[in-house]
Amino acid sequence: MQLRDKVALITGAGSGLGLATASAFAREGARVVINDLHEAAAREAARGLGDAHAALGGDVSKESDVAAMVEAAVARFGRIDILVNNAGVADSFVPTVEQPLSHWQRLIDVHLTGTYLVSKTVAPLMMRQGGGAILNLNSIAGVLGLPVRTAYSAAKAGIGMLTRVLGCEWGPHGIRVNAVAPGYILTPLTEGLIAAGRIDPTRIRRRTPMGLLGAPEDIAEAMVFLASDRARFITGVTLPVDGGYCAFGAPSDAFAIDDLDPRTAA
């Protein structure tokens, strides 16, 4: 029960990594406010966690929605101890010269501006409370150069620097700001990309020193640690949770695929 009696607001938590994080936080004793652009998805997710938790709709890229969301969370629970900026939208995998400006703008608005907006709205409350923890969703795309992931990569790299800046600025107020950079995780979105032939899981496993794609729970457990008092002296960092993907740099496979090994079966 590392988060007993804490109140956590998690954006974009109706499914995927956000929902896995919400489930882990609830298990550790937190009362969770699940936000999602689709309020029905947020309500269903919160219902699955139990009556102690709440759901709120809202677009994190819209200042009025964010203000209303934070106000409603405080009205319900009286405080926000943990914020997880998880909300995001899918990338297009389209060459940069073919990407419309609207695609670039939407990804920047949701990922980067959304993280900024929700953080700056919650921070004054945390300052009055005497501290808190803010966790952001970076990505290996914000650390490494991934072709055709232009807007997504730029937004995630911005989140990495925003994490550093806010960690330094708000440290004196007792607010820790950190990020997790997931590698290739087997979410429903990733499974859909695999099924569509957009990404090759075998190539990913060969490039990953641990030879595996991650599970949503791997990200959730890292979030639990960074949100807990066990990480009380950690701020301004991005923690890769990627099986060693970002660390590897040799001009060879990181992991030898053995089709007979059940750990590496596609």
Q: Give the active site residues.
A: 152
Alpha helices in the chain (DSSP H): 16-27, 39-49, 63-77, 101-107, 114-129, 150-170, 188-195, 201-207, 216-227
Beta-carbon contacts of 265 under 8 Å, excluding residues fewer than 6 positions away, are 259
Cβ contacts of 204 within 8 Å, gap of 6 or more: 184, 213
CA angle 201, 246, 3 (to 5 degrees): 95
What tokens were used for 51? 């009556």
In whole angstroms, how far apart are CA 83 and each of 24, 51, 226?
14, 20, 11
- Lateral strand order in the sheet of 54-57: 54-57, 31-36, 7-10, 82-85, 132-137, 175-182, 238-241
* Rounded distance between C-alpha atoms, residue 49 and residue 26, angstroms: 7
Distances (CA, A) of 199 to 10, 75, 185: 28, 43, 12
C-alpha span between 129 and 38 (Å, rounded):
30
| Contact of 137 with 159, CB cutoff 8 Å | yes
Q: Which residues pair with 178 in a beta bridge?
A: 135
